[in-house]
Amino acid sequence: AQKVTQAQTEISVVEKEDVTLDCVYETRDTTYYLFWYKQPPSGELVFLIRRNSFDEQNEISGRYSWNFQKSTSSFNFTITASQVVDSAVYFCALQGARGDTGRRALTFGSGTRLQVQP
């Protein structure tokens, strides 16, 4: 069974603060993919990043960075110098790579609501 846990339900920060969103996952697959999505108030999910289980390099994209650690089954997301436009719900998701076609669907965490105050 696959599971994604986002223990932080809601985080509130003041603009320009750094913030880290935690994601812990469980899977029996040796090959799998991890994702982060952003859900602004409009509701549509916006893709942010994909990582496969063989690539543990951290990634930085502008103010966003991701820390993937297989040893702790974590895939954390950091926003540096947060801005009001970063306010949204952020979801971590997992996709297995074994034969069961059902698990090609993404398994989502419950999401973390980020509020960035001006």
Partner 1 sequence: DGGITQSPKYLFRKEGQNVTLSCEQNLNHDAMYWYRQDPGQGLRLIYYSQIVNDFQKGDIAEGYSVSREKKESFPLTVTSAQKNPTAFYLCASAGTRGSEAFFGQGTRLTVV
> Interface with partner 1 by CB under 8 A: which residues?
4, 6, 9, 33, 35, 37, 42-45, 47, 50, 52, 91, 95, 97, 101-102, 104-111
Least CB distance from residue 95 to partner 1, whole Å? 7
CB of 53 to partner 1, least distance (A): 10
66 or 111: CB nearest partner 1? 111
Closer to partner 1 at the Cβ: 57 or 118? 57
Q: Least distance from C-beta 16 to partner 1, angstroms? A: 27
**103: phi > 0 → left, psi -120 to 50 → alpha, else beta; which?**
alpha
Q: Return the amino acid letter for 33.
A: Y
Residue 9 vs 61, nearer CB to partner 1 = 9
Q: Which is nearer to partner 1, 53 or 78 (CB)?
A: 53
Cβ 73 vs Cβ 57: under 8 Å: no
Which of 112, 117, 85, 80 has the alpha carbon at shortest distance from 4?
112
Extract the tokens encoding 95: 């996709």
Q: Are 4 and 93 in contact (CB under 8 A)?
A: yes
Distance (Å) of CA 42 to CA 23, 87, 89: 23, 12, 11
**Nearest approach, Cβ of 81 to partner 1 (angstroms)?**
26
